[in-house]
Structure 1
Amino acid sequence: MVTACAPLRKAPLPAGLPREWYISHNRRLKAMRLAIALLDTGVHHPATADNGRIRETAERIGLHPPSDTTCRMVRALIRYGR
């Protein structure tokens, strides 16, 4: 019997780092969430994950629309996960 695990408790981000670190950290998290959502919907090739499809997925799962940079990161995650 398989049971769902409880979500992990989020730890606070470390203080005192440059603002760019927090921006890139949050961008990577968003890209990972979007890549997982796209893989779950059957998008397994980066060519089929255009910016429009990525932004539609973000809207569907409740994320703010990603930037072009984040969309490139999502395609890279899909590409290197193969």
Structure 2
Amino acid sequence: MPAAALKPKPLPTQSTAKRPVLLETPCAPVAKRPLPPGRPREWYVTHNRRLKAMRLAIALLDSGVYLPDQASDETIRGTAELIGIHPPSRTTCHMVRSLMRHNR
């Protein structure tokens, strides 16, 4: 009798992509530091937008959304609501998808 026939079959598992996964919040928030003074306002806007896009991209990856095509604006905004941040703009949603694309 082959050895493969003697091994019990593992129980079927359900992929995290097929069902929603509860997002874990970090144990303690990172201490915020003040941004450097004297930069143009646009720099601060872009910097904060990048931080928000990174947070959203990480949350989407944790919830099982791995491809940019799976991350519609509605999906990204729903994730933002889940993790407790303001709904992102179209520009930020685009940035989230580009982060997911470039990190592959």
Q: What is the TM-score when the length of structure 1 is the normalising length?
A: 0.89
* Aligned match of 2:62: 40
What residue is the counterpart of 2:11 in the other structure?
A: none
Q: Which of 20, 29, 32 lines up with 1:10 in the alignment?
A: 32
Residue in 1 that maps onto 2:50: 28
Task: Report the number of matched residues.
Answer: 79
Give the structure 1 partner of residue 18 of structure 2. none
Match 1:50 to one of 67, 72, 86: 72
Structure 2: which 5+ residue stretches go unaligned? Answer: 1-25
- Residue equivalent to 1:19: 41
Cα shift at 1:11: 2.0
Q: Within 2, Cα distance between the matches of 1:7 and 1:35? A: 18
Task: Find the aligned partners of 1:37 and 1:61 in 2 and give their Cα distance.
Answer: 8
* Residue 78 of structure 1: how far off its partner (Å): 0.5
Whichever structure has more helix as a proportion of its residues is 1
CA displacement at 1:24 relative to structure 2:
0.3
Q: Which has the larger radius of gyration?
A: 2
- CA RMSD, Structure 1 to Structure 2 (Å): 1.6
The aligned counterpart of 2:100 is 78
After TM superposition, the score normalised by the length of structure 2 is: 0.71
- Structure 1 portions without partners, runs of 5+: none
Q: CA–CA distance in 2 between the matches of 1:6 and 1:80?
A: 29
Shift of 1:13: 0.3
| Structure 2: distance between partners of 1:43 and 1:17 | 35
Q: CA deviation at 1:8?
A: 4.4
